[in-house]
């Protein structure tokens, strides 16, 4: 399994998707409820496409580099809707699309990620198989594309290592440019449990942090 997490606004999402589409390496498929076994492909950023994917804030990324089988759907639910079955479909990367959510005059930054599972299932034999090497390579390339468009920050906190015992630790938060600007203006925050992480809590260099 591989996963890369980041935060952003919907504007950040649009910028990232535009860059992914521009590479020409991927087929973007809306992760949505389907009435017919026919996928909704996204080849450009339009109002119609954005409305479709914002409903579920999620897309699948297929590539000819690692295509193995066709798209498979789950059985219809009681409403007649079907979901894409990622494990039984061709190997793919799923992407959660970040957004911001207004809370008491502030904006909570929603999380996004790219991810693929530790195994897939052959729909004909039901046998599991490991993700192909090409998927791993493409995932790393995709991660590099996203990281070039967002800001790397560091957060210092006290890590619980035993009952009543703590030690300083550092986490990395990757944040979209637009969302980071909201934090700079003291309008945005990241939710970490019951804690609101603001711009004042973040560092742009690890060297700035005293442990």
Rounded to whole angstroms, the Cα distance separating 59 from 57 reads 7
- Expressed as residue numbers, the domain containing 121 is 2-149
pLDDT tens-digit readout, 109-157: 999 999 999 999 998 899 999 999 999 999 999 999 999 999 999 999 8
Q: If we measure between CA atoms, which residue out of 50, 118, 51, 62 comes closest to residue 89? A: 62
Does one domain contain both 143 and 156?
no
Does one domain contain both 109 and 197?
no
Q: What pLDDT is stored for residue 7 in this prediction?
A: 98
What pTM was computed for the model?
0.91
Q: How many structural domains compose the chain?
A: 2
pLDDT of 188 above 70: yes
Q: What pLDDT is stored for residue 211 in this prediction?
A: 66
Phi, psi dihedral angles at 94 (to 5 degrees): -100, 145
Does one domain contain both 96 and 30?
yes
Q: What pLDDT is stored for residue 159 in this prediction?
A: 81
Does one domain contain both 166 and 144?
no
DSSP state, residue 84: B
Rounded to whole angstroms, the Cα distance separating 97 from 113 reads 7
Q: What pLDDT is stored for residue 174 in this prediction?
A: 98
């Amino acid at each position: 399994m591989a996963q890369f997490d980041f935060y952003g606004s919907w504007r950040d999402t649009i910028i990232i998707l535009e860059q992914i589409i521009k590479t020409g390496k991927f087929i973007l498929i809306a992760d949505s409820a389907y009435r017919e076994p026919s996928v909704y492909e996204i080849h450009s950023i339009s109002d119609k496409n954005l409305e479709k994917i914002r409903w579920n804030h999620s897309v699948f990324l297929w590539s000819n580099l690692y295509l193995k089988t066709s798209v498979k759907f789950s059985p219809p639910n009681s409403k007649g809707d079907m979901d894409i079955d990622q494990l039984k479909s061709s190997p793919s990367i799923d992407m959660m699309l970040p957004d911001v959510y207004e809370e008491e005059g502030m904006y909570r930054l929603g999380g996004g990620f790219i991810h693929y599972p530790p195994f897939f299932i052959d729909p004909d034999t039901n046998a599991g198989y490991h993700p192909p090497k090409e998927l791993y390579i493409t995932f790393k390339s995709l991660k590099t594309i996203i990281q070039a468009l967002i800001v790397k920050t560091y957060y210092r906190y006290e890590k619980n290592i035993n009952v009543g015992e703590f030690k300083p630790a550092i986490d990395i938060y990757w944040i979209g440019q637009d969302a980071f600007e909201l934090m700079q203006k003291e309008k945005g925050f990241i939710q970490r449990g019951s804690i609101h992480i603001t711009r004042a809590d973040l560092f742009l260099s690890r060297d700035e942090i005293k442990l």
